[in-house]
């Protein structure tokens, strides 16, 4: 059983079926199809305001292209040191922004704190020709540590951003997981809290390859369509991306899928915490667990056929476990039973 990532799961059956049914007949290309229009309408309803939505097929493309319209080539983009845009996008944000610099701001449990952001921006050297210019802040929701920003935490950072004329981006690769954990409203934890652009993820939560860059600040969207095309990310048969998002957003499918993933993570961590000597590194507020287990338990779990990442830079025995909409309760139970037996 593979707990490496939610990326290892397949597609939710409802989304796979939607993909097959979208194959009937012809449809206008490059986003002029009815699915794409329906996705933007559904997202406007979900976020309780008109939004502009641009489907892309990877989260890296969503983040890098979103940030390219939020920061000039001489700009500074502030993010957590463990942010995906910092660690796992191979320089794509810097590339598509024409050279903008990612500036790390440390924070507990993968989160930026408004006071820390304010302190950095207070010394942002705005107007100093020798220094990158404060341009954007990027938050990840849920974070790379499996934690979630509350609306008031987002709003506090947004207030600092506004004070310094800086834009606010949210990497929502696991947005649904964070939303379900907090039982919050999509609007409350995004634009109502001051977010300008959201990378809305679906791939990790049941889609095959479907993300949407959502603009709450429509002025920022002006050049996005051209940048997406120039980046090679305007999909000609867009209906097959949008059909995934359309199904994902139908009713509460996206939230049910995230709820299942979160519930499995909660069951997994509840079982593992009962093992003497384990150390949970971060609160489990979505579908990711960062835990340090005795080395013999880690080795034994792998020998028993379980896959998961050792977490780089952490103490020996620290692993990441990720659940998904497809994680089975019996696999969680087997993982816990195996770990407990090895620790005995
Ligand atoms: C926090 C986060 N953001 C963005 C992404 C998007 O990455 P990808 O380009 O692999 O879809 C991922 C991928 O797993 C992620 O974990
Ligand atoms: C490893 C990382 O790049 C990937 N986004 C994941 O969470 O699995």
pLDDT, mean of residues 24-53? 98
What pLDDT, in 10s, does the model give residues 294-338? 999 999 999 999 999 999 999 999 999 999 999 999 999 999 999
Look up residue 317 and give its two tokens.
Answer: 């025995």
The confidence score (pLDDT) of residue 106 equals: 98
In 204-239, which positions are buried (b, 16+ CB within 10 angstroms) versus exposed (e)?
bbbbbbbbbbbbbeeebbeebeebbeebebbbeebb
The confidence score (pLDDT) of residue 284 equals: 98
Which ligand 1 atom sits closest to the C-alpha of 6? Answer: 14
The confidence score (pLDDT) of residue 102 equals: 98
Dist. CA 51–CA 198, nearest whole Å: 10
Measured in Å, residue 45 CA sits from the centre of ligand 2 at 30
CA distances (Å), origin 223, targets 67, 69, 227, 230: 12, 7, 6, 11
Measured in Å, residue 144 CA sits from the centre of ligand 2 at 8
Out of 56, 60, 90, 177, give the residue to mutate to test ligand 1, the one with the largest number of ligand atoms within 8 Å of its CB.
Answer: 60
Number of Cβ within 10 Å of residue 119's Cβ equals 12
Out of 64, 65, 81, 84, give the residue to mutate to test ligand 1, the one with the largest number of ligand atoms within 8 Å of its CB.
Answer: 84
pLDDT, mean of residues 60-88? 98
Per-domain residue ranges of the chain: 13-248, 254-343
Residue 210: helix, strand or coil by DSSP?
coil
Q: Is the CB of 5 under 6 A from ligand 2?
A: yes
For 270, residues 6+ apart whose C-beta sits below 8 A from its C-beta are none
Ligand nearest to the CA of 211: 1
Asked if the bond preceding 96 is cis, omega within 30° of 0, the reply is: no
Measured in Å, residue 160 CA sits from the centre of ligand 1 at 26
What pLDDT, in 10s, does the model give residues 8-33? 999 999 999 999 999 999 999 999 99
| Global ipTM | 0.97
Residue 198: helix, strand or coil by DSSP?
strand
Minimum CA distance residue for ligand 2 atom 6: 5
Strands 197-201 and 211-215 come out as antiparallel
What pLDDT, in 10s, does the model give residues 151-194? 999 999 999 999 999 999 999 999 999 999 999 999 999 999 99
Which residues on neighbouring strands pair with residue 140, listed in sequence order? 171
Pocket of ligand 1 (CB under 6 A): 7, 58-60, 63, 84, 140, 144, 171, 173, 203
pTM: 0.98
Torsion sign over Cα 178, 179, 183, 189: positive
Q: Is the CB of 115 under 6 A from ligand 2?
A: no
Helical (H) or strand (E) element with 214: strand 211-215
Q: What is the mean pLDDT of the chain?
A: 97
**What DSSP letter does each residue of 268-319 carry, written as one string?**
HHHHHTTSTT-EE-S---SSEEEEE--HHHHHHHHHTT-B-EEPTTSPTTEE
Look up residue 22 and give its two tokens.
Answer: 């979208």
Minimum CA distance residue for ligand 1 atom 14: 7
Which ligand 2 atom sits closest to the C-alpha of 144? Answer: 7
Residue 189: helix, strand or coil by DSSP?
coil
HSE-CB of 69 using CA atoms within 13 angstroms: 26
Measured in Å, residue 76 CA sits from the centre of ligand 1 at 21
Measured in Å, residue 141 CA sits from the centre of ligand 2 at 14
The CATH architecture to which 13-248 belongs is: 3-Layer(aba) Sandwich (3.40)
Per cent of the chain over pLDDT 70 is 100
The confidence score (pLDDT) of residue 324 equals: 98
* CATH node for 254-343: 3.90.1150.10
Phi, psi of 279 (to 5 degrees): -130, 120
Measured in Å, residue 322 CA sits from the centre of ligand 2 at 10
């Amino acid at each position: 059983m593979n707990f490496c990532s939610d990326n290892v799961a397949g597609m939710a059956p409802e989304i796979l079926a939607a993909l097959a049914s979208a194959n009937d007949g012809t449809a206008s290309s490059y986003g002029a199809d009815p699915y794409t229009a329906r996705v933007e309408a559904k997202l406007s309803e979900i976020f309780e305001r008109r939004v502009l939505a641009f489907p892309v097929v990877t989260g890296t493309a969503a983040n890098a292209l979103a940030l390219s319209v939020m920061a000039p080539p001489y700009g500074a983009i502030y993010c957590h040191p463990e942010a995906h845009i910092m660690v796992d996008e191979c320089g794509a944000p810097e590339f598509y922004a024409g050279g903008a610099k990612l500036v790390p701001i440390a924070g507990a449990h993968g989160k930026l704190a408004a006071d820390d952001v304010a302190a950095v921006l207070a010394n942002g050297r705005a107007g100093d020709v020798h220094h990158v210019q404060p341009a954007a802040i990027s938050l990840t929701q849920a974070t790379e540590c499996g934690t979630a920003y509350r609306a008031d935490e987002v709003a506090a950072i947004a207030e600092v951003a506004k004070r310094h004329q800086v834009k606010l981006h949210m990497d929502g690769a696991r947005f649904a997981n964070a939303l379900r954990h907090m039982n919050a409203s999509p609007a409350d934890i995004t634009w109502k809290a001051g977010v300008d652009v959201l990378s809305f993820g679906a791939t990790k939560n049941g889609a095959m390859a479907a993300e949407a860059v959502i603009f709450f600040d429509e002025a920022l969207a002006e050049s996005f369509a051209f940048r997406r095309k120039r980046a090679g990310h305007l999909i000609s048969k867009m209906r097959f991306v949008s059909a995934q998002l359309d199904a994902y957003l139908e009713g509460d499918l996206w939230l049910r899928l995230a709820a299942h993933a979160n519930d499995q993570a909660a069951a997994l961590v509840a079982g593992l915490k009962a093992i003497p000597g384990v150390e949970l590194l971060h609160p489990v507020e979505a579908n990711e667990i960062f835990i340090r287990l005795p080395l013999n338990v880690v080795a034994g779990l792998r020998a028993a056929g379980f896959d998961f990442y050792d977490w780089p830079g952490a103490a020996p025995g620290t692993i990441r476990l990720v659940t998904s909409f497809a994680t089975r309760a019996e696999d969680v139970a087997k993982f816990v039973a195996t770990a407990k037996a090895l620790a005995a």
